[in-house]
Amino acid sequence: MTLDQESRYPLFLCLLAALLFFPALGMRGFWAPVEPRYAEIARIMFAKGQWIIPTVNGDLYTDKPILYFWLVLLGSKLAGSVNEWTVRLPSALSALGLVLTTYALGRDLFNARIGFMAAMVLATSARVLWEARWVHTDMTFTFFFALSLYFFSRAMLRKGKPWEFLLAYGLAALATLTKGLIGIVLPGLIVLAYVALRREWRVISEWRIPSGILVFLLIAAPWFAWVSQATDGRWLREFIFTHHIQRYTSGLGHRQPFYYYILTFPADFLPWTTFLVPALWAYRSRFKLLRDPGALFLFLWFFVILFFFSLSDTKRDLYLLPLFPPAAIFVA
C-alpha cells in the first residue's frame, strides 16, 4: 500500500518540524530573564506538588495564566525533574501543531498543495524557528488560537458540523488559559469583522453561542476561580488590571510607537518577507468584491491582529506570532 501525495504532506511536515524544533532542545542553559523565571515557577510547583498558584521568589506570579506551566509539569512528571528540555518542550510541540494547523487551513480554504507550501513557509520563518525553541507562552497560545480559528472557519465557511463550533470555543478557552483574555477577544473580533464585511448577520444564530459559552466556561473558568479564591482575589485583580488594562493602555515595560510592527515584522518573517506584499496585492480584487470568503477571512485575521496590537502601548515582536499562519498562506 502506498500513500498518495496529499497523504504524504503531513508526514513530511512532521519530519521537517522534528528536525527544526526538537534537536538539542535541552542542551543550552536558560537565558535570562524569561526562561529562568518560568523554570523556577514550574520547579516550585513541582517540588510542592501544588498546581494552582504560580509563584516566583516568594510572590505571586500574575503575568500569565496556568496552562503553559501545567504542560511543563506534565513533561517534568514523565522526565522526573524540571529541566531545560521539559520547560521548552511545550513550545516545540506547539510549533509542530501550528505547522500542521497551517497546512490544514490552507488545504481547506484553497488546496492541499497551498496548505503544504504555507506550512513550509511558516516552519522556516525566523520568528517561528526562534519561538519553537524558547520558553514563552506565545507559541502555545498561537497554536490554540490558530486551531480555534481553523474550526471557526470550517464551521462558517464550509458549513461544517455543529461540534466544530463547540471545539472552536473549547480551543479559545485553552488559549485564554495560556495567555489571557486575548484568547477569546481576538477570535471574536476576527469572526465578527468577517460577518460585518460579508453582511451575513444571520449566520450568528448558527454559532451555538449558549452552548459555546458553556464549553468555554467549563474549561477556562475553574482555574481562574480557584486561584482567585486561594489568593483572596489578588491574583485576578493584578492579572486583569496590571497585565491587561495597564499593559494595553500604559505601555507597561515595552512602550513602542504605533508603527513599531511595520519595522519589526519584516525581519521576523524572513526569508519570506519579500513575497508577502506581492501576494497580498495579487488578491486585491478578491478582497474588494468580497468574492472569496477564504481569502477575506485570512485577510481579516492578518490585519485585525496587526491593528489590535498596534493600538496597544505595549509592543513586543513575538506578539505578532498569531498572524503568521495567514501570512504564510498568502505567500504560498
Q: Work out the average pLDDT over 50-76.
A: 93
> 278 falls in which pLDDT band (50, 70, 90)?
confident
What is the average pLDDT across 291-305? 89
Residue 202 pLDDT level (bands cut at 50, 70, 90): confident
pLDDT of residue 275 exceeding 50, the answer is yes
SS3 of residue 44 by DSSP: helix
Reported as a single tens digit per residue, the pLDDT across 16-35 is 999 999 998 988 888 878 89
Q: What is the DSSP letter of 134?
A: S
* pTM of the entire predicted model: 0.94
Q: What is the pLDDT of residue 209?
A: 83
Write out pLDDT tens, residues 228-260: 999 998 998 988 887 777 776 775 667 788 888
Per-residue pLDDT, 94: 98
pLDDT at 252: 64
Question: Distance from CA of residue 131 to its chain's centroid?
Answer: 11
Highest mean pLDDT among 174-178, 250-254, 295-299: 174-178
pLDDT of residue 300: 93
In order of 65, 120, 151, 153, 156, the CA distances from 159 in angstroms are 33, 28, 11, 9, 5
Q: What is the DSSP string of 269-324?
A: TTTSHHHHHHHHHHTHHHHHHT--HHHHHHHHHHHHHHHHHHHSSB--GGGGGGGH
Q: How high does pLDDT run on average in the chain?
A: 89
pLDDT at 74 over 50: yes
Residue in the structure block whose three cell numbers are 494595553: 248
* pLDDT digits 0-9 by tens, 94-121: 999 999 999 999 999 999 999 999 999 9
Looking at residue 224, what is its pLDDT?
A: 96
The pLDDT score that the predictor gives to residue 1 is: 40
